[in-house]
């Protein structure tokens, strides 16, 4: 369901059926115990600090701490809707694409969610990417939208009530 090549060269992956998270490092396979309540793991990403983040179909966000999976306190109540994708930016932000709850943003231990109320075109996020100019690209059912990182930060910090974005949709 998900694969990640980490900066140390290890390969992380998830399995279908019995939910598990595995890592291959130095030719050895390590399997991590996934909490029973976690359904399918759909997303893996490594952030700028080297932390491995995991997103599941039941809306859980976990991270690897040593040899165990833990929930980030700021994300303990973040969602119950399927996580579709995760994306980490060089500034230390973790972006979370939800099936029907918009996009979540974790930065410096603070979590916020951006939805249609803040100017998102829709609340389903299928994929997230960033470019070298500092823009965040969000793909969803209505098309592809571009958001400047500074504008997203303003919306999250409530300095601006609306998230400005450019939509490259089906009608464009």
Going by the DSSP 8-state scheme, the letter that residue 73 receives in this structure is G
Helix-strand-coil split of the chain, %, nearest 5: 10, 45, 45
Give pLDDT tens digits for 112-158: 888 777 666 678 899 999 999 889 998 988 888 888 877 777 766 66
Give pLDDT tens digits for 45-91: 999 999 999 998 888 899 998 878 888 877 766 666 889 999 999 88
Q: Reduce the DSSP state of residue 42 to 3 states and report it.
A: strand
For 5, the enclosing helix (H) or strand (E) is strand 3-5
Q: Reduce the DSSP state of residue 151 to 3 states and report it.
A: helix
Going by the DSSP 8-state scheme, the letter that residue 17 receives in this structure is T
């Amino acid at each position: 369901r998900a694969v990640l090549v980490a900066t140390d060269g290890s390969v992380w992956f998830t399995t279908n059926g019995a939910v598990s998270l595995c890592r291959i490092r130095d030719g050895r396979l390590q399997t991590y115990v996934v909490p029973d309540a976690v359904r399918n793991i759909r997303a893996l990403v490594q952030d700028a600090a080297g932390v491995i983040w995991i997103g599941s179909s039941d809306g859980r966000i976990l991270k690897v701490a040593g040899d165990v999976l833990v929930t980030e306190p700021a994300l303990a109540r973040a969602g119950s809707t399927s996580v579709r994708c995760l994306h980490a930016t060089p500034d230390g932000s973790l972006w979370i694409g939800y099936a029907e709850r918009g996009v979540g943003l974790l930065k410096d231990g603070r979590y916020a969610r951006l939805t249609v109320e803040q100017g998102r075109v829709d609340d389903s996020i299928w994929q997230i990417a960033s470019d070298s100019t500092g823009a965040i690209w969000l793909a969803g059912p209505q098309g592809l939208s571009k958001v400047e990182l500074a504008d997203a930060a303003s919306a999250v910090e409530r300095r601006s009530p609306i998230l400005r974005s450019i939509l490259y949709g089906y009608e464009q």
